[in-house]
């Protein structure tokens, strides 16, 4: 199936996609702040530079876009592989999944607990709040 957008238009769309400070990432960070948690973002010294890290707790959160990281949930509509230009996309998306696995292994070897949040899972704030609190435990202090 050919792309329905002109190459220049598709290029502009892809160029605008951010790697850091995405809308899902900002939403999770706002919620964590509201719950009283303090964290670091993208710490360079950790494998994979997790989106959010709790250094004293040794807990890290990755917030994955369903398309870019190919969410394995069959119910997720955003994780579909592109039908056009598959010779480009298939290896690119496979490498992203491989890199995710390598980074998770490296962090676990260093004694870190990990949580992966998928973009499609962030729709319910109450479910997200519950998952985060279960993963992190109580905040050290409350505002």
pLDDT at 8: 67
Q: How confident is the model over 43-88, as pLDDT tens digits?
A: 999 999 999 999 999 999 999 999 989 999 989 988 888 888 888 8
* Residue located via tokens 């957008």: 5
Structural contact between residues 119 and 66, judged by C-beta atoms closer than 8 angstroms: yes
pLDDT in tens, 24-35: 999 999 999 999
The reported pLDDT for the residue numbered 81 is 82
pLDDT tops 70 at residue 136: yes
Measured distance CA(32)–CA(119) in Å, rounded: 16
Which DSSP string corresponds to 73-138?
Answer: -TT-GGGPPPSSSHHHHHHHHHHHHHHHHHHHHHHHHTT-EEEEEEGGGGS-HHHHHHHHHHHH-S
Domains of the chain, earliest start first: 20-136 (3.40.960.10)
pTM over 0.75: yes
């Amino acid at each position: 199936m050919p792309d329905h957008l002109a190459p220049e238009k598709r290029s502009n769309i892809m160029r605008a996609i951010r790697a850091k400070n995405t809308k899902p990432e900002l939403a999770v960070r706002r919620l964590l702040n509201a719950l009283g948690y303090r964290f670091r973002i993208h710490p360079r010294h950790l494998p994979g530079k997790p989106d959010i890290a709790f250094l004293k707790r040794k807990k890290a959160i990755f917030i994955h876009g369903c398309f870019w990281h190919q969410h394995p949930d069959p119910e997720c509509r955003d994780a579909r592989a592109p039908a056009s230009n598959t010779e480009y996309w298939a290896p690119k998306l496979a490498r992203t999944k491989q890199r995710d696995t390598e980074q998770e292994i490296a962090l676990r070897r260093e004694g870190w607990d990990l949580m992966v949040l998928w973009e499609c899972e962030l729709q319910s704030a109450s479910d997200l709040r519950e998952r985060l609190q279960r993963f992190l435990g109580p905040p050290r202090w409350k505002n």
